[in-house]
Structure 1
Amino acid sequence: MEDLRSTTVSDDPVQRRDLILIERARSGDLDAFNDLVVLYQDSLFALVVRMVPDRDQASDCVQEAFFSAYRNLGSFRGGSVKSWLNRICVNAAMDTQRARKRRPVQPYPEYEDESWQPPAGVESDPERIAVHAERSRAIATALTNITDDQRTAIVLYDIEGYDYGEIAEMTGVSLGTVKSRIHRGRLALRDILSERMELFRG
């Protein structure tokens, strides 16, 4: 079996750890793969739920992505394990977008729960916390009102930090199409949020 550590030069201890776990999983060590699940399930859910706002469907996407990753361990050829898992999750989310029935869903239900409070952090000013929550709610709602393709491109570029080339590879479209989706998506978001711009000033 190919030694992944010998094919990937990295001084990143996280990447070395992940490659060791992948190698062990490919050798039949289920506990090693479960370690990867524990390490990345939260970040993968955070990625997918922005693309598939229904939280139950997003959770199913992540679960299916891990199943797919386990079935296709042999296809991993080195590099970033996190990026590899992200690509699988993006594909699962896109499949869900295509298959999703045309029915209204309530994204981010915690915003509708008056008892919900934002996580505790450095910022303790109640007014600023309220503004931050309102911004998050406005953006989350706006994202559900642009096309799936635009939302996927914007989430990957503006939130996850992938470059155009990486997004093109993940989504199976040309570089020009990625740029167009991001541009059109941003314009659509600006129009949707035009009456709420006071939230984003100051």
Structure 2
Amino acid sequence: MEIPNDDELVRRAQEGDLDAFNKLVERYQVQMYNLAIRYIGDPFLAEDVTQEAFVAAWKALGSFRGGSFRSWLFRILINEAHDLRRRHVKRTPGSLDQILEELGEFPQMGDPHIGPEETAVSAATFKAIEKCIQKLPEEYKLVLLLVDVQGLSYDEVATALRLPLGTVKSRLFRGRCMLRELLKDSGEL
């Protein structure tokens, strides 16, 4: 059986097919949550923002006029995260390792044949990078997360953030440079 693409699922969902929309939710819920937790820093608020983003997407689905559905979803998620901040819910963003530790989860290291020493080095590297990403200014952090962590194309990021393509590229370049300097200064690597 052929798996329907986003365009087909969106078309069906716009016609009122809740199952089609649920398939879109299943397809993107992990990516949406991953961005939310890295952007907000709190796992429970990230869950709320992700859920609110999907509810808002369902309500606004009639206004979707094509293009990248994924970038449209990320735009909604970002708006929900900004709304959360505007409501003055002040939470200190923790590093991803603290969040994962609270949840009892650990990053996947990939190859099961990697030994404990390599795993420890990978975990330390992961922690240092996440800690430094949290220190980036918001506009650079968001572009870096969308491109380097979520894997969106420059065009998708430009659409999601409503920015010119050149601005996305320059913010990504500057964000990566800042991250590199933060990692050097931290001395953790």
Task: Give the TM-score of the pair, scaled to structure 2.
Answer: 0.79
Alignment check: 8 A CA contact 2:71 2:160 kept: no
What amino acid is aligned across from residue 129 of structure 2 in structure 1? Answer: I
Q: Which has the larger Rg? A: 1
Report the CA distance between 1:22 and its aligned residue. 2.3
2:141 aligned residue (125, 143, 151) = 151
Aligned equivalent of 2:175 = 185
Distance 1:105 1:36, change over 3 A: same
Distance 1:198 1:148, change over 3 A: closer
Aligned equivalent of 2:158 = 168
Aligned equivalent of 2:51 = 63
Distance 1:192 1:76, change over 3 A: same
How is 1:65-84 mapped onto 2 (pairs within 5 angstroms)? Answer: 65-84=53-72
How is 1:20-169 mapped onto 2 (pairs within 5 angstroms)? Answer: 20-97=8-85, 101=89, 103-108=91-96, 109-110=98-99, 112=101, 117-119=106-108, 121-123=110-112, 124-169=114-159
What amino acid is aligned across from residue 131 of structure 1 in structure 2? Answer: V
Report the CA distance between 1:103 and its aligned residue. 4.8
Report the CA distance between 1:33 and its aligned residue. 1.9
In structure 2, C-alpha distance between the alignment counterparts of 1:95 and 1:131, rounded to whole Å: 37
Task: Give the TM-score of the pair, scaled to structure 1.
Answer: 0.74
Report the CA distance between 1:170 and its aligned residue. 1.8
Alignment check: 8 A CA contact 2:36 2:46 kept: yes
Distance 1:189 1:98, change over 3 A: farther
Query: What residue ranges of structure 1 are gaps of 5+ in the alignment?
Result: 1-12
Query: What residue ranges of structure 2 are gaps of 5+ in the alignment?
Result: none
* Local SS of the residue matching 2:66: coil
Report the CA distance between 1:130 and its aligned residue. 0.9
Alignment check: 8 A CA contact 2:56 2:76 kept: yes
What amino acid is aligned across from residue 144 of structure 1 in structure 2? Answer: Q
Fraction of identical pairs, as percent: 40
Distance 1:19 1:103, change over 3 A: closer
